[in-house]
Amino acid sequence: MSRVASWPIAGRIMRTSRDVKSPYSARELSKETWPDFEKLFLKKGIGDGWWCWCTYHHEMSHSSVEKKQLKTRAKIAVRNHSEKRTLVEKGQAHGIIVYANEEPVGWCQYGPKDELPRMDGRRRYRRPKLEDSSGNRFWRITCFIVQEDHRGRGLASAALEAALDGIRMKGGGLVEAYPVSNSDQGANYHYCGTVSMFEKAGFKTIAPLSEGRTSTAIMRRAI
């Protein structure tokens, strides 16, 4: 199983007890780690992941006739679970699974642009100029999940750093994200992360993306 080479989580989480080994580690999603991914997404207290299975950004639109016929989230969950497994088997889904003492407790999805095309269909989305996209190596970081009882300890931020390590190891390029700039809504609405955590990871805001109770922005960074 592949482990992310540099795992920066210890400094953040174990701030008050540096001499104690961090219980957290990370692995890339793969056919081998699929059972861990599945275990995480079948847990209670993981937000909307239980029915989305992080398939939303893999598709341009959810308005296909087949999807419209699925009336309940439970039915959508079955379909999305199967879709995600197929993508993983084909090597068309990427992300970082975070473990606490070998138990999966967190997740950050990333991938090359064409693997996560959802944003391309958004009216307010601004494509980067070709020269900005570092030789067409163009990546997206779209989703986070942290199990409820592990939240508020910097796990999502550390998963972001691990995702950037994963992108760097695959050759790097331009990395784009769509985090929340302002919200009066709950944790589920923050599934793309927050502007502050991306700023701390070296991203810059390019433009607003959506406005409302939860506002989001387009952010980018080259690595």
Ligand X SMILES: CC(C)(COP(=O)(O)OP(=O)(O)OC[C@H]1O[C@@H](n2cnc3c(N)ncnc32)[C@H](O)[C@@H]1OP(=O)(O)O)[C@@H](O)C(=O)NCCC(=O)NCCS
Which x/- pattern over 67-86 shows residues binding ligand X (rule: CB under 6 A)? --------------------
Site for ligand X in 194-213 (CB under 6 A): 194, 196-197, 200
Asked if 145 touches ligand X (CB under 6 A), the answer is: yes
Name the residue nearer to ligand X (CB basis): 129 or 186: 186
According to the binding rule CB under 6 A, does residue 29 interact with ligand X? no
Instruction: Quote the least distance from Cβ 202 to ligand X, whole Å.
Output: 13
Q: For the range 218-222, what are the long-range contacts, defined as Cβ-Cβ under 8 Å and sequence gap of 24 or more?
A: 218/125, 218/126, 218/176, 218/177, 218/178, 219/176, 219/177, 219/178, 219/179, 219/195, 220/128, 220/132, 220/174, 220/175, 220/176, 220/177, 221/174, 221/175, 222/134, 222/172, 222/173, 222/174, 222/175
When the beta carbons of 30 and 182 are compared against ligand X, the nearer one is: 182
Structure tokens at 62: 């959810």
Contact between 47 and ligand X by CB under 6 A: the answer reads yes
- Residue 220 has phi, psi (to 5 degrees) of -140, 155
Using CB positions, name the residue nearest to ligand X.
Answer: 47
Q: For ligand X, which stretch binds (CB under 6 A), given 29-37, 88-96, 130-138, 145-153? A: 145-153
Q: Is 27 in the site for ligand X (CB under 6 A)?
A: no
